[in-house]
Amino acid sequence: MADKFSWITEGIEELKAHNLYSAVPTVTSPSGAVMTINDHEVINLCSNDYLGLANHEGLKRKAIAALEERGVGPGATRRGTGTSDIHVAFEKTIAEFKGAEAALGFQSGFMANLTVITSFMGKDDAIFSDELNHASIIDGCRLSGARNVRYKHNDMEDLRRVIGETQGYRRGMIVTDGVFSMDGDIAPLPDIVEIAEAHNLISMVDDAHGEGVLGRSGRGLVDHFDLIGRIDLEIGTMSKAFGVMGGYLAADKRLVEWVTQRGRGFTFSTGITPADAAASLGAVELLMESGELVEKLWSNTRYFQGALKDLGFNTGRTVTPITPVILGEEGLTHQFASELMTLGIGTLPIIYPVVAKGQSRLRVMLSAALSNELMNRGISAFEQVGRRLGVIG
């Protein structure tokens, strides 16, 4: 019988032939400054655990207590019997942290985007979306059936142009990543808010890489720009700086209520576990108590990025702890990553189709968990491999 999946075998071979294949590494340690990845102990410059909270003792205690008291799973969807008082407390606290009236939790940031966009936008509507927005925003826009109008990355003139050229829609929305995770640059939110207000458009920002990083004590990009109350829909994730799992919407009560009624990812899919909710609540409380970890993250960022630039690496346009080391060619990028790995340094190669061809890079993620000694070992490995491969002089 003919193999009906031979196209997959060919597809995988094709990816490998073009250096576009990315293996999935296996981790056998907790997330932390040093991790065991594929049985190698490496300095972790490759996770989104910005504040080192993924293995935080206090948060683990809270998760364990919730697990002991409430069990391993919620047993039903959030609209059924799956909403515990821990979920409610988390949502109340994250709303307060973000300066919003209300919040609603989801299983992930990805699910939050799919659910929220499709709750507000339908086939008669138009969405103005940055061309470099996260995959989950793009998929949410597609799924909504709305007209999907892309504008050039962070280009406000182009945004104004496409809004002017788009006619005959019922409702409109501007949606953007807050921090763009491939380059570490940020959206010009003050301009976006102004444009949205001028055209009576819904404004939506996904702050996945901004919260825990930017703003007062990590309150995120909206706080950073002093725009609290002026973004209609704010999406976040608990899986990055907060170190746990889950996503959320922070917005006015009326808008949150709408998603509890119309959001398909809320209605038809079970929420996070009580343990996840308890750890998430604890992570937000931790940042409300102290900005110390956020400050440490930034001092590590200045130190590491400064050293890479001094060595002559191209770190692009980052203004956040996301540190692209742009190498260009896919093969070179894979080789650089694997030589760093041999030296005990874990970085993430980012290649086409995640970024444009010829724009491949290693992504270094800084964390408050890193000591100076570990960062110095990372920097000298970059220097050694960079010289050997002719990337720096």
Ligand X SMILES: *Cc1c(COP(=O)(O)O)cnc(C)c1O
What residues act catalytically?
181, 209, 240
Beta-carbon contacts of residue 37 (< 8 Å; ≥ 6 apart):
25, 26, 27, 341, 346
- Give the residue, chosen from 70, 78, 134, 224, that forms a contact with ligand X under the rule CB under 6 A: 134
When the beta carbons of 277 and 385 are compared against ligand X, the nearer one is 277
Only one residue has tokens 């996904």, namely 206
Q: Confirm or reject binding of residue 219 to ligand X (CB under 6 A).
A: no
Q: Confirm or reject binding of residue 110 to ligand X (CB under 6 A).
A: yes
Q: Could you tell me which of 279, 147, 125 has the C-alpha nearest to residue 202?
A: 125
- Give the residue, chosen from 105, 109, 346, 386, that forms a contact with ligand X under the rule CB under 6 A: 109
- Give the residue, chosen from 44, 93, 136, 280, that forms a contact with ligand X under the rule CB under 6 A: 136
Provide, rounded to whole angstroms, the least separation between the CB of residue 10 and ligand X.
30
Q: Confirm or reject binding of residue 115 to ligand X (CB under 6 A).
A: no
Q: Confirm or reject binding of residue 49 to ligand X (CB under 6 A).
A: no
User: In this chain, which residue has its C-beta nearest to ligand X?
Assistant: 109
- The burial class, CB within 10 Å (0-12 / 13-18 / 19+), for 293 is buried
Here the tokens at position 149 are 């109008």
When the beta carbons of 209 and 224 are compared against ligand X, the nearer one is 209
Q: Confirm or reject binding of residue 318 to ligand X (CB under 6 A).
A: no
Q: Which stretch binds ligand X (CB under 6 A): 204-212, 253-261, 338-346, 381-389?
A: 204-212
Q: Confirm or reject binding of residue 36 to ligand X (CB under 6 A).
A: no
**Contact assessment for residue 218 and residue 229, using Cβ atoms and an 8 Å cutoff:** no
String marking each residue 222-241 x if it binds ligand X according to CB under 6 A: ---------------x-x--
Q: Confirm or reject binding of residue 62 to ligand X (CB under 6 A).
A: no
Integer CA distances (angstroms), 132 to 125, 151, 153, 154, 192, in order: 21, 9, 6, 9, 15
Provide, rounded to whole angstroms, the least separation between the CB of residue 109 and ligand X.
3
Binding site for ligand X (CB under 6 A): 108-110, 113, 134, 136, 177, 181, 206, 208-209, 237, 239, 247
